[in-house]
Amino acid sequence: MLLPWRTLAFYAARKLAQDPRAREKAAQVARQTSDEARRIANSPDPARAAGQAVRRAGQQIRRHLRATDD
């Protein structure tokens, strides 16, 4: 059952690599994710920091969805 997901992931990665805008966006997301992980790791309360990161990510997604609906 893992093979179709793996094939799909590789297909998506190849398509992503072909599109310069998508590559730039993927790099931006990777940088944001690493910054967020660093913030969580350096926090005195990692569980709270992780919760805040999830909340911020949810807010970003909601803002993006609202912007595309208009």
pLDDT in tens, 35-59: 999 999 999 999 999 999 999 999 9
Tokens 């931006």 locate to: 28
Q: Which amino acid is at 17?
A: A
Q: What are phi and psi of 45, to 5 degrees?
A: -125, 85
What pLDDT does residue 6 have? 85
pTM above 0.75, yes or no: no
Instruction: Write out the residue range of the structural domain in which residue 59 sits.
Output: 2-69
Q: What does the DSSP 8-state code read for residue 42? A: T
- pLDDT of 5: 83
AA letter at 44: P
2-44: pLDDT as tens digits: 678 888 888 888 888 898 998 898 889 889 999 999 999 999 9
Number of domains in the chain: 1
User: For 58-64, which contacts have Cβ atoms below 8 Å and span 24 or more sequence positions?
Assistant: none
Query: In this model, does residue 62 exceed pLDDT 60?
Result: yes
